[in-house]
Amino acid sequence: MPKIVDHDERRAHIADAATNVIIRVGFEHLTMREIATEAGYAHGAIARYFPDKQSVLTASFLRLYDRANTRIHTRIDGVRGLEALERACREILPYSPNGPLYARVVIAFWDHAAQDADVARIHREHNMHWRDLFRQCLIEARHDGELAAHIDIDTAVGEIAARNAGWQMVAALLPDVAGDGRLDDGLAALLSELRRPETPTPR
């Protein structure tokens, strides 16, 4: 009886293999043959699932994004407001050991998104999902009295997204200044800017 091939599983395996190769040699030096070797498949098997390097890069990015989403929704289950926002950011930010490595895949995808309308559309769709999550957390924080009165939620959403994206770039290009301690300090500073100051207790 012929073996039943799970095509979704095989595509995911190839995307993971491509991620490993991009981390090791960079996207510009990536070849379909190297991906096949990493995945343990014949070269022709890759072409049946991905016609070119860009399609593999997109699949790799989406795999990383989907994994991050799974972690985020697991971590924020049962919490809300600024605590949920902090937990979500901790899953997005490039914490060690894998975050700085995965940042290389993210940056390569951004480069192609800037040049290709279809890739840009994919990036926008997923970026807006995270922005909606940030907005939801901030609305909850305002409802719960956590958010500083002067905070404009739309502006804050843009700042949070920009900081998370900026740390991806720093982690990939300046890893010596993007350790976990620096990420912790940056996230703490962001949350401090958003949080309503505590009212002094009367003596």
List the chain domain ranges.
53-194
Residue 77 pLDDT > 50, yes or no?
A: yes
Residue 38 pLDDT > 70, yes or no?
A: yes
pLDDT for res 200:
60
> Which range is least confidently modeled, 11-15, 42-46, 53-57, 80-84?
42-46
**Secondary structure tally for the chain: helices H, strands E:** 9, 0
Write phi, then psi, for 112 (nearest 5 degrees): -75, -30
Q: Does the predicted TM-score (pTM) go above 0.85?
A: yes
pLDDT for res 178:
86
Residue 201 pLDDT > 80, yes or no?
A: no
pLDDT tens digits for range 14-34: 999 999 999 999 888 889 999
Most confident of 5-14, 29-38, 50-59, 81-90: 81-90
Give the residue, 26 or 145, on which the prediction is more confident.
145
Query: What superfamily does domain 53-194 belong to in CATH?
Result: Tetracycline Repressor, domain 2 (1.10.357.10)
**Residue 161 CB coordination number (10 Å):** 16
pLDDT tier, 1 (very low <50, low <70, confident <90, very high otherwise): very low
**Residue 48 CB coordination number (10 Å):** 13
Three-class SS state of 30: coil
Give the residue, 105 or 7, on which the prediction is more confident.
105
Residue 76 pLDDT > 50, yes or no?
A: yes
